[in-house]
Structure 1
Amino acid sequence: MIKKIIIGILLLGIIAIIGFVVLMANFEVFDEPTETELKAECDYESLRKIKMTEMTGNATTNRSIHIYATECNYDEKNEPEPIFVASAGFIKPKDVNFEWKNFDTLTIRYNKKLEIFKQKKESESINPKIVFEYITE
């Protein structure tokens, strides 16, 4: 009887160890975040471009939404200028939005509950004035 109990406990232990190894092999704790473009829009004269992307999170970081300013004929050699970065564990693409009000004014609307990491009033590279508004739910 005791021999059967010991064999049963050992068998459960081995199954638990195998299960843990399989879980850790498939669980990507520190996987690289991926970037997904949500929206890109040029101004009325097709000179300046605003791009909104979503970065996925992992075990150590939350998802975040980034808004970048570039020229419409953007090439990969130049880094886009980040003008707005927000993050939260619950962030959704509808929590941040932007639109060109006129040639020199860009309006960015965002959920008040988001944690803001970067918020520029004016772009250094393409120079639109940036107006920020809260989205009320």
Structure 2
Amino acid sequence: MKRRFASALPVGARGPLGLVLGTSVWMAALGNWPLWQSLSELGVLQGVKGWGLAVAMAVMITAALVALQSLLAWRYTLKPVATLLLLAAAGGAHFMLAYRIVIDSTMLVNVVQTNPAEARDLFSLQLFQWLVLGGLLPAWWVW
């Protein structure tokens, strides 16, 4: 019985759970790089208690991302949604690092109200690098 089930899975195949876990860990680590950097600068991550806090936060962030993606893990939506989340996480990480901001509901309202001239000023080589390395590269792994 066990052998028959194992042989039914293609070698090297990534199922929905592996995809959700992989992208969630990536977004928890890279998409929250500004968080980890700020906590480190504040000295919160020093010592055993600091590392315990970091591990606990990483597990909670990853679990929240797994829960979000699991709600959207339908046959035709999982990969496009994962790709959009990866790109959004990479873009958000860039802006949080570059402008030392926190993305909250007020910031999202500002994004919607931005005119094309203001938006053009936000495009940079660093944004392109973040989107390629932090969004498109893991999205390539997704597909």
Q: TM-score range by the shorter chain?
A: under 0.3
Greater share of residues in helix: 2
Pick the structure with greater CA Rg. Answer: 1
Higher relative contact order, chain-length normalized (CA < 8 Å, sep 6+)? 2
- TM-score normalized with structure 1 length: 0.22
- TM-score normalized with structure 2 length: 0.21
